[in-house]
Amino acid sequence: MSTSTMQVNGKTGVPFLLRVLWFIFIGWHVTLYWIVAAWVLNVSIIGLPLGLWMLNRVPQVLTLKPAGGYSVADIRDGKVVSVRYDGVRQRFWPWRLIYFLVIGWWFSLGWSLVAWALCACIIGLPFGILMLNRLPAVTTLHRG
């Protein structure tokens, strides 16, 4: 009985050319509406979890960027026995909550709107994409 463990990278996904076309024709338009909808949800206590979930997905909406993390598969006799997903360990949740309540909720709104405006012009595009990729960390100290 042979046993092996294989790491499968989770970064595979949409081809680069398709991501570029998505960004040009759909992504940067939809991202503004996505951010505004997330902040409308964040205004209410009931919509807050969905709003934060949406803000954490802004990089994926903008450029179809794959989510972080990786999968590890245990293979025995040529068959996959178990698969587990390993992502980045998050900060202690009370610290993330305090940060969000004091800084994250208002700072990330300004951050995201400035980043979106940079994406709308050619010169600021690299900085805008970089800023939107960091939006989850700015909002809730989310490590992605």
Q: Phi, psi (5° rounding) for residue 94?
A: -65, -35
**CA nearest to 110, candidates 139, 144, 140:** 139
The more confident residue out of 75 and 80 is 75
Mean pLDDT for 61-80 is 71
DSSP annotation string for 66-126: PPS-EEEEEEETTEEEEEEEE-PPPPPHHHHHHHIIIIIHHHHHHHHHHHHHHHHSTTTHH
Q: Per-residue confidence at 91, pLDDT binned at 50, 70, 90?
A: confident
Instruction: For residue range 47-61, list pLDDT tens digits in order.
Output: 989 998 998 888 899
Q: Per-residue confidence at 98, pLDDT binned at 50, 70, 90?
A: very high
Contacts of 47 (CB under 8 A, 6+ apart): 40, 41
What's the confidence (pLDDT) of residue 117?
93
**pTM for the full predicted model:** 0.71
DSSP 8-state assignment for residue 44? S
Do 71 and 87 contact (CB within 8 A), yes or no? no
What's the confidence (pLDDT) of residue 56?
85
